[in-house]
Amino acid sequence: MLITIALVLIYGAIILSVQASPLLAIQISIVMIIVIILLLAIVYSLYKTKYTIKNGRLYSWSPFAIVNIGIKEIAKVENTRIPFYFKGFGASVYSGRFYIPAVGWTRVIITNLTDGLLIKTKQGKNYLITPSNPKVFAKALK
């Protein structure tokens, strides 16, 4: 809904700027097209995000984060709720590198905002993923 409101406001700015300056209208239109393309790319990549366990490794890809962990490197897997207070160093809302209080810097790939798995490796790295069925996926990691 926020995206729709933002796009309506940008469209309104384009219409108002046409009266003031045709060049400004073209510049705003270009920015709007770029924003729409980025939003579509993020939505598409969210749709294509998958978590795979193959050849003893957990693998997932998104445009802003990659998870590639050997199953034997995993020290702990915890079911967790997805925190809404990310302090982002990531480039998108759902993936990247985020700071989570009490956990630290965590590589995150989120496909839903309800529950997920917090994975801690023996090397001290943290990963947060959200497979469709976290409890079953956690058992597969053990």
Give the pLDDT of the chain (142 residues) as one tens digit per residue: 556 776 777 777 777 666 767 777 777 778 878 888 887 877 777 777 888 999 999 998 877 778 899 999 999 999 887 765 554 444 455 778 888 888 889 888 887 777 889 999 999 999 998 888 888 888 888 7
Residues 39 and 66 in one domain: no
- Considering the domain architecture, whether residues 65 and 104 belong to the same structural domain is answered as yes
- Does residue 55 sit in the same domain as residue 37? no
Assess whether 60 and 117 both reside in one domain.
Answer: yes
Dihedral pair phi/psi, residue 105, rounded to 5°: -65, 130
Dig out the tokens for 80 from the structure. Answer: 């967790």
* Parent domain of 119: 50-141
Residues 79 and 119 in one domain: yes
Per-residue pLDDT, 63 = 73
Same domain, 42 and 87: no
Q: Are residues 24 and 71 in the same domain?
A: no
Last residue of a domain, one of 17, 32, 47: 47
Q: Which helix or strand (DSSP H or E) is residue 95 part of?
A: strand 95-100
Question: Taking each helix axis from N to C terminus, what angle separates 2-20 and 22-48, rounded to the nearest 10 degrees?
Answer: 160
Contact (Cβ atoms closer than 8 angstroms) between residue 107 and residue 97: yes
Tokens, residue 46: 């969210």
Burial of 74 (0-12, 13-18, 19+ CB in 10 A): middle
Asked which of 26, 47, 68 is the last residue of a domain, the reply is 47
Residues 91 and 27 in one domain: no
**In degrees rounded to 5, what are phi and psi of residue 63?**
-60, -25
Residue carrying the six token digits 């759902």: 94
* 136 and 87 fall within a common domain: yes
Residue 28 β-bridge partners = none
Q: Identify whether residues 32 and 73 lie together within a single domain.
A: no
Domains contained in the chain, number: 2
Nearest CA among 67, 70, 66 for reference residue 56: 70
Residue 90 has a pLDDT of 44
Sign of the dihedral defined by the CA atoms of residues 3, 85, 88, 95, in that order: negative
Asked whether residue 32 falls in the same domain as residue 94, the answer is no
Are 79 and 95 in the same domain? yes
Angle at 53 between CA 141 and CA 127, to 5 degrees: 65
- Number of neighbouring beta carbons within 10 Å of residue 96: 20
Q: Which pLDDT belongs to residue 44?
A: 79
pLDDT of residue 86: 52
